[in-house]
Structures are given as structure tokens and as C-alpha cells.
Amino acid sequence: MPASRILTLALLGAAAVVAATSDAQQAPGNPLDVIPDKMPFDIPYGPPITLERASALIAAAIAEARRHDWKLNVAVVDAGGNLVAFERMDGAQLASIAVSEHKARVAATFRRETKVFENAVQQNGSTYVLTLDGVIASRGGIPLVDAGKLIGGIGCSGGTGSQDEVACTAAVAALNKK
């Protein structure tokens, strides 16, 4: 091989190493290292949801479930995650009793929909969220916010996550109509 060709290959190789080093230095770091300007999910706490309102939300969730012939468990908790009201539809899966309450509790105490955790694990590969105490990474838990203040959470379980979420969303819509 001629010396000029060896020199050309060596220079190209050196340029590739420099470019790779430059790209590595410019590559984004861990997305969790980004520091947002504002605190996410910073919903102030309000007065706890009353039994009357919790019962009305459960009725709205169950009405939606009945429209689709779904058998669900529905739980409403206050902002501290304490159970306020619960109803199990006839034939609803027994294991989902605890799951519905868990979803409601997580939605209230973490001040975000449980779908956020599901997306973190399923779409973003952020499995670290599973190390947080009390997390459930399954949709169907939604915080209850009235006049900009957190008053509780609702959780539905017994169907698929998307079915559970639809029933919870119907309840939240009823809360917002008040």
C-alpha cells in the first residue's frame, strides 16, 4: 500500500475519533438530570372530599361502566389517601377491590394520574418509578381537583386499564360539572 494512502487512512481514522469524541460530549445526558423551572404536579391541597360527593362520583363511574357492560370496583379517597367510599359492581373481579383503592390512593398522594407511572415504565423505560413506595403503574387512578385544589382521588379496577380509565374520567367529568 502506498505511503500516501496509509497517511490518508490514518488521517480519516483520526478525524473519525475526534468526531466521535465530540459527539459523545454533546450527547444528551440522563433526561432525569433536567431541572424544570416549575415543580410538576404541584396541586395545592383543599378540603377533603365529602361522602356525598364521593358517592356521586362512584355513581357516575358505575353508570359509565354499565353503559359498556363492564364490571368494576370503584374507590374514592381523600387527599391523604384515606378511603371515603367504595362500591363493587356485581360480578366484579375480587382481586380488583384492593387495586381500585390503591389506584385512588396513588392518584391522590402523588397528585397525578396513575397513567403517568404506566407511561414512565411502558413507554419511557423508567422502571425506577417502581421503586417508589406505594406506586402502581396502571391507568385507572385520577386525582380529584376542585377549584384548583386536590380533594381526593378516584380509582377503578376490574377491566382493562383503558376501561378503568374511561370510568374514572366519567366520574371526574361529573365532578367538574357540579
Q: Which three cell numbers stand for residue 163?
A: 376501561
Across the range 112-125, mean pLDDT stands at: 94
CB atoms closer than 10 angstroms to residue 42 = 7
Task: Please state the φ and ψ torsions of residue 130, each to the nearest 5 degrees.
Answer: -70, -10
pLDDT number for residue 24: 47
Query: Which contiguous run of DSSP H or E holds residue 169?
Result: helix 161-177
**pLDDT score of 32 more than 80:** no
Across the range 78-95, mean pLDDT stands at: 98
pLDDT number for residue 52: 97
Sequence-separated (6 or more) residues with CB below 8 Å from residue 95: none
Q: Which of 92-101, 119-128, 143-152, 163-172 has the lowest mean pLDDT?
A: 119-128
In this prediction, residue 19 has a pLDDT band, given cuts at 50, 70 and 90, of: low
* Comparison of pLDDT for 37 and 84, the residue scoring more: 84
Q: Which CATH superfamily is domain 51-177 in?
A: Haem-degrading domain (3.30.450.150)
pLDDT in tens, 134-171: 999 999 999 999 999 999 999 999 999 999 999 999 99
pLDDT in tens, 34-45: 888 888 888 999
HEC letters along 103-137: HHHHHHHCCCCHHHHHHHHHCCCCHHHHHCCCCCC
Across the range 14-27, mean pLDDT stands at: 51
pLDDT number for residue 9: 45
* Comparison of pLDDT for 26 and 89, the residue scoring more: 89
Q: Where are the domains of the chain?
A: 3-33, 51-177
* CA gap 154, 134 in Å, rounded: 16
Contact 114, 106 (CB under 8 A): yes
